[in-house]
Structure 1
């Protein structure tokens, strides 16, 4: 049996609906006439107001304001206009005095205009009239400048034009056809509702709900929808498309799962390689002095522990562990005579040594990678002091990036407990006293508290990771 397609079924029913639609559209057009009429009346009121406003302006320019009563009387004779009143604002009355004309009032009758300055329309359907109150404001244009004659500011209210118009003939026409249109509309609505409800329910809603449910089951149990059970060709074709889509999705999911596994392994490998690369770069400076052996690893390990204790996120803890090894990368640019000098540096030598912070930043600053940018920040600011006496920028307190603050105290902590070319390693008590003394001076007070709280654990870690135990 040949099945009817959805287009043909829709066409047969819509032909009937279309014939009725011609009637209903005509009916709606008549019902819309009132709104059209109201719009037309409003436009006419605006046009009359513009004419009146232009006429008053012309009379003022010509110096014949005493003749404006004739002008207003002539405007009133226009078709459908019952009356025209000019309400004068207080500023106009104050400047020019009270008007004695019949068509003018020395006050604003619509009090809302004083604040809103917007036109208002009062429809009196019982008396068959409309009263439009349209404000006119002080304006400045190329050909009109109200401020030349009026002592006001631009857009101040000068007055209002009240126009009363007769609308009885239009009302009678609307009422006459209104009852007929309403009856036709109700009949048409009932026919459309019952016909469309049945059509939509039987040929769209129920089949779609079934096909959605079947599609979910097909995906869940990985089996095809039985497309033969749908009555129209479009639904049958849709079921087949869903089957094709389900096959494709399942295939893509399997491929994606495999790719995700490969990507996870690749990311892990890249991350491990990157960590090793960062450590290797950090150890470049250590190669020049065996006294700082494993300093890079100790700084990375301690920085991560303190960052976690400080309350930084897991991501930040991981980041500081990866980037802190490059804190002294700038020392590769310092000569051996200064870097490896066993005694105290001279003032000039110390100035040279301090340049390693900017040298390290210069090496790393050109990258847009977050990990390299973080390393550049640490390299530049890890010699800043909490009280603002550090270098190179003299930052103070929390102006110093937290990564740099952490590496600063870890770098000194490890240096004090380790042997260097210029000093012997300190004992635990001396190191602890120095760290405590620098609380709020060289170091962040919170970081000092963390070091002191975990001193034994951190000191033990330094000794275990050092080759000079």
Structure 2
């Protein structure tokens, strides 16, 4: 029986003492599973009330969902069920049970202690003298008040339908609020991949909430900015509900045939396609990426829903364009910094892979000592400019194959101060970090380095990290003035200089991860 359009011929008073229909099972088990059913809690100390309620609501279906009825006969049982099932949609609550106001105290428990504002509460009483309607409605957060003697089967069903629809609307509004909060929270960091997925999940949840659809949804995009061999692949980048496990997978590998066909049709026709089971919306960005959102629906979409979806997807496309622009600017920024570092290295006749290896070594050690991933990434980029000051050193000295004179060595040493002067004026954190690294990466832990003669932890941590990885790569590499050292020689040097040239903690971490560093070296070999 579907009560979306209520039709009933029964209009008898159902709460009577005679001819009670007895149902032995304490918990009514509907055909639908609990996840796809409205949860209703019946609270009354009279078993006949439970039995008749089950009889009247037998076969109840609203919006494609049946009922799952839970039964409680006192306050303790009620509290236990409410704690175990916070998603109960409706409570049919008796007033007089152990005490004359047990039901009213339970209302306070639900609203004040459990902080549950969603569940709809219908008070049913056979003794109105204990709880006058006007007083109860004013003083207690209930949603309806019924006398058992006035509650016919039709009126009861109407009350249940009204309460459940109200509950559904409240849940939808709450989901909409949570989805909007996710979008707002992701806005400051849209260029980050992690934040991008958070942003998309917010959009999916908001769409499913506004349209009262299922929570099963996916977002995927093509590798439009990748190599041509990947341009025909669509990867799921965000998902909700049952599709969460499919994130980072190709749609061809995981989606059911009917959903896959719908998504592919949207891609081929380059438009939104609607079916009885859901819709797939296609849109591309000005940066060349193709995007698809699929959302499952348990109801037939109305014309207004379709218009809303089209408007929403249009706005989403604009948001993606802005996000891709931010990502592109971030990549360009990093490439410019890396290129500046390469120029400095090329002037000294050393391959640009030196700064690439130093950056990867620094990132590895930073993570190993507990620096956060964003900070480690910042260090990785900033480290590429550790020798930018070499741009101010004459070629004849910088690339001299023979041993430097004391005067020439003093000029070489000045590259630390030159690099610092070049970078210190920036207000960007990454550039400030790069300035300190350029200035201090030749300081020694024992205080015998240059240019300031700093000692121990007075030397910036980033500079201490770059100091050790710069030396390790220099020793492992062939230069115009020397051959490369063996792995054994480098390890012995690190052990000998522990607490002298290098931070002893960083030496231990470097030795512990030396195999990983050698792997990085092999991946970025000098040409």
Q: Which has the larger radius of gyration?
A: 1
- Between the two structures, name the one with larger relative contact order (CA 8 Å, sep ≥ 6): 1
**1 or 2, which has the higher strand percentage?**
2
Instruction: Provide TM-score, normalisation by structure 2.
Output: 0.42
**1 or 2, which has the higher helix percentage?**
1
